[in-house]
C-alpha cells in the first residue's frame, strides 16, 4: 500500500514517513536545554563544539501587536489531521469543522508544508515565494472560522523531507555517492539535517504561520532518512561529522527518588542526535520570543528504544526544546512479534498502553513532565480494519497511563465518526 500519496486532484493517500518498513514506528543551561529536564553537566572532547555557531540572517518577525490572537492550548487536547488539499475544499473542510464542533474533539492539525516541500498559502515573504502553491488562499479567514468554533489550530510543517528545496539547492540535499540527489523508496528527496541555511527557511515558514493565526507549530520529519538505498546515501554537510563516533555525554536532572533525592541520568547522544538537537535548539531560540507553542513528531520506537533509532531522534535530546512530543505510535507500524504481539495492529489497547506507559516512565527518568507526551493514534486501515472499537481502544490505552491528550491520523481525512464521543450540551 502506498504511503503518503496525496495529489493535486484531491486524492488523499497515506503519509510517506509514517509507513516505515523495518523501523516502526525553559531555561538554557549548558547546551541550551529548556524545561524540567535541565542538563546539569555536559562533557565534551577537546575542540568539540556542542552546538556549532549559527550565523544566519534573522527573519523579520511581525510586531507582536500585529499578530492574530492565539488560543490557549486545550487540556486535554483531542485533535485530528487535515491535508492542505482538504483545507482548500470549502465543503469538505466545513464538514470536518462541524464534526469537531459536535464531538469531543477540540483541535485540528493542518498541513502548511507537506511531503512535497510546497507551502500551502501565500506568506508575503519574497524568499518563500518560489516554494508557495497557495492551495489555501483564505487561510487566515479559515483559521478565524475555526477559532470562532473554539477549535485550536496547529500548523504541520514537514521539515527535512523536502524535494522542492532539495532541487533548488542540491548542494545541501542528501546525495548519492555519484553526486546526484538521493531518493527514498518513494522517490522523494531529503535535506541534510545540518544545512543551516535550510534551518532559516523553516524559521521563515514558522513566522508566516504565526502571522496568519496558527496557535501551534508542529514539526514533522525532524530526522535523518530511514528507507531507500541507504548504502548509496551521502550527507554533504554532516557526512564527515557522522563518521566520527560521538564522545559527548550529557547528564540530566533525572527522576526524584522516594526520599527526594535527584537521580541523574547520563546519556551519550549519537552524532545524528547532536545534529538534530542543534536544529531543535535553533528552533527554540528563534521562535521562543513569539510565545508560540511548539511540538515535534517522533517515531513511536523512541518510547521504547535505548538508542536514536539511527535517525537522530531520542526522547532525552528532543524533549527539552518542545512544549509537546508527539510519538507516532500507530499499532500497524510495529513489527510482527513486537512485545509478543503476532500482528500488533490487532492489539490497539494493549500495544498503546504498553508503549505509552514506557514513554511516560522514560520521561520521568529523564526529568521531564510526562504530560509533554501527546501521541498520534491510528484511524486508518492498515494491518487490520480499524473499527470504532479499535480506534477507541487506543484512546483508552493512552488515558489509562495518565496521558489525556492525543491526535488522530487518517491520511484520507474520513475518520471513523462513531469512534469519537459526541459533545454534551454543556461542552
Using the predicted structure, report yes or no on whether residue 37 has a pLDDT greater than 70.
Answer: no
In a domain, 424, yes or no: no
CA atoms within 13 Å, Cβ hemisphere of 273: 23
Instruction: State pLDDT tens for residues 167-188.
Output: 999 999 999 999 999 999 999 9
Measured between alpha carbons, how far is 169 from 167 in angstroms, rounded to an integer? 6
pLDDT band at 161 (very low <50, low <70, confident <90, very high): very high
What pLDDT sits at residue 180?
96
What pLDDT sits at residue 423?
76
Residue 409, classed as helix, strand or coil, is strand
Q: What is the mean pLDDT of residues 51-67?
A: 49
Instruction: State pLDDT tens for residues 188-225.
Output: 999 999 999 999 999 999 999 999 999 999 999 999 99
Using the predicted structure, report yes or no on whether residue 310 has a pLDDT greater than 80.
Answer: yes
What pLDDT sits at residue 10?
31
What pLDDT sits at residue 360?
97
In a domain, 33, yes or no: yes
- Provide, rounded to the nearest whole percent, the portion of the chain with pLDDT above 90: 78
Using the predicted structure, report yes or no on whether residue 377 has a pLDDT greater than 80.
Answer: yes
Residue 317, classed as helix, strand or coil, is helix
The mean-pLDDT minimum among 5-14, 207-216, 327-336, 397-406 falls in: 5-14
Nearest to 197 by CA among 226, 231, 170, 157: 170
Residue 90, classed as helix, strand or coil, is helix
What pLDDT sits at residue 68?
81
In a domain, 427, yes or no: no
Looking up residue 176, the CATH number of its domain turns out to be: 3.20.20.80
Measured between alpha carbons, how far is 231 from 233 in angstroms, rounded to an integer? 6
What pLDDT sits at residue 20?
32
The mean-pLDDT minimum among 25-39, 60-74, 315-329 falls in: 25-39
What pLDDT sits at residue 425?
58
pLDDT band at 66 (very low <50, low <70, confident <90, very high): low
In a domain, 178, yes or no: yes
Provide the H-helix boundaries in 169-299.
Answer: 196-212, 239-242, 271-287
* Non-local CB neighbours of 59 within 8 Å, separated by 6+ positions: 125, 200, 203, 204, 207, 286
Q: What is the mean pLDDT of residues 232-250?
A: 93
What pLDDT sits at residue 167?
98
In a domain, 108, yes or no: yes
In a domain, 165, yes or no: yes
In a domain, 2, yes or no: no
What pLDDT sits at residue 246?
87
What pLDDT sits at residue 362?
95
What pLDDT sits at residue 28?
29
What pLDDT sits at residue 248?
86
Residue 124 C-alpha cell reads as: 508575503
Using the predicted structure, report yes or no on whether residue 48 has a pLDDT greater than 50.
Answer: no
DSSP result, 133-166 = --S-TTHHHHHHHHHHTT-EEEEEEE-SB-HHHH
pLDDT band at 296 (very low <50, low <70, confident <90, very high): very high
As for how many domains the chain has, the answer is 1
Burial class from Cβ neighbours inside 10 Å (0-12, 13-18, 19+) for residue 237 reads buried
Q: What is the mean pLDDT of residues 234-259?
A: 89
Contact 295, 222 (CB under 8 A): no
Measured between alpha carbons, how far is 95 from 111 in angstroms, rounded to an integer? 17
pTM, two decimal places: 0.86
**Positive or negative, the Cα torsion across 83, 304, 34, 197?**
negative
Q: What is the mean pLDDT of residues 117-146?
A: 98
What pLDDT sits at residue 255?
81
Task: For the chain, give the mean pLDDT.
Answer: 87
Contact 209, 158 (CB under 8 A): no
Length of the chain: 427
Using the predicted structure, report yes or no on whether residue 52 has a pLDDT greater than 60.
Answer: no
In a domain, 279, yes or no: yes
Domain that holds residue 91: 16-419
Q: What are the distances in angstroms from CA 10 to CA 86, 162, 349, 385, 411?
A: 7, 20, 33, 24, 12
Residue with the bigger pLDDT between 151 and 12: it is 151
Amino acid at each position: 500500500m502506498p504511503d503518503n500519496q496525496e495529489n493535486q486532484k484531491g486524492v488523499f493517500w497515506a503519509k510517506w514517513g509514517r509507513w516505515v518498513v523495518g523501523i516502526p514506528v525553559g531555561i538554557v543551561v549548558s547546551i541550551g536545554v529548556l524545561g524540567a529536564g535541565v542538563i546539569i553537566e555536559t562533557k565534551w572532547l577537546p575542540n568539540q563544539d556542542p552546538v556549532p555557531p549559527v550565523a544566519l540572517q534573522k527573519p523579520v518577525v511581525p510586531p507582536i501587536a500585529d499578530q492574530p490572537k492565539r488560543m490557549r492550548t486545550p487540556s486535554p487536547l483531542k485533535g485530528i489531521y487535515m491535508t492542505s488539499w482538504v483545507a482548500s475544499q470549502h465543503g469538505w473542510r466545513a464538514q470536518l469543522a462541524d464534526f469537531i464542533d459536535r464531538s469531543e474533539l477540540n483541535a485540528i492539525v493542518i498541513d502548511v508544508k507537506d511531503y512535497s516541500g510546497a507551502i500551502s498559502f501565500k506568506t508575503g515573504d519574497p524568499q518563500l515565494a518560489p516554494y508557495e502553491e497557495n492551495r489555501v488562499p483564505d487561510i487566515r479567514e479559515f483559521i478565524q472560522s475555526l477559532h470562532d468554533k473554539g477549535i485550536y489550530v496547529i500548523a504541520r510543517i514537514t521539515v527535512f523531507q523536502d524535494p522542492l528545496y532539495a532541487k533548488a539547492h542540491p548542494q545541501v540535499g542528501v546525495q548519492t555517492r555519484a553526486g546526484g540527489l538521493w531518493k527514498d523508496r518513494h522517490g522523494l528527496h531529503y535535506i541534510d539535517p545540518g544545512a543551516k541555511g535550510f534551518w532559516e527557511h523553516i524559521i521563515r515558514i514558522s513566522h508566516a504561520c504565526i502571522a496568519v493565526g496558527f496557535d501551534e507549530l508542529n514539526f514533522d520529519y525532524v530526522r535523518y532518512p530511514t528507507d531507500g538505498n541507504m548504502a548509496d546515501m551521502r550527507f554533504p554537510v554532516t557526512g564527515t561529522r557522522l563518521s566520527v563516533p560521538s564522545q559527548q555525554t550529557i547528564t540530566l536532572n533525572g527522576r526524584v527518588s522516594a526520599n527526594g533525592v535527584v537521580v541523574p541520568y547520563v546519556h551519550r547522544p549519537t552524532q545524528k542526535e547532536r545534529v538534530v538537537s542543534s536544529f531543535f535548539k535553533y528552533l527554540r531560540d528563534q521562535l521562543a520570543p513569539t510565545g508560540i507553542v511548539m511540538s515535534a513528531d517522533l517515531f513511536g520506537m523512541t518510547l521504547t528504544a535505548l538508542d536514536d533509532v539511527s535517525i537522530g531522534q531520542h526522547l532525552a535530546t528532543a524533549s527539552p526544546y518542545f512544549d509537546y512530543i508527539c510519538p507516532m505510535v500507530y499499532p500497524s507500524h510495529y513489527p510482527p512479534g513486537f512485545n509478543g504481539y503476532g500482528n500488533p495492529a490487532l492489539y490497539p489497547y494493549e500495544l498503546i498502553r504498553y508503549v505509552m506507559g514506557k514513554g511516560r516512565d522514560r520521561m520521568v527518568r529523564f526529568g521531564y513532565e510526562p504530560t509533554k507526551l501527546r501521541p498520534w493514534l491510528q484511524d486508518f486501515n492498515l494491518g487490520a480494519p480499524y473499527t470504532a472499537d479499535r480506534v477507541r481502544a487506543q484512546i483508552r490505552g493512552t488515558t489509562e497511563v495518565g496521558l489525556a491528550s492525543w491526535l488522530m491520523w487518517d491520511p484520507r481525512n474520513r475518520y471513523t465518526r462513531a469512534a469519537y464521543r459526541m459533545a454534551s450540551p454543556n461542552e
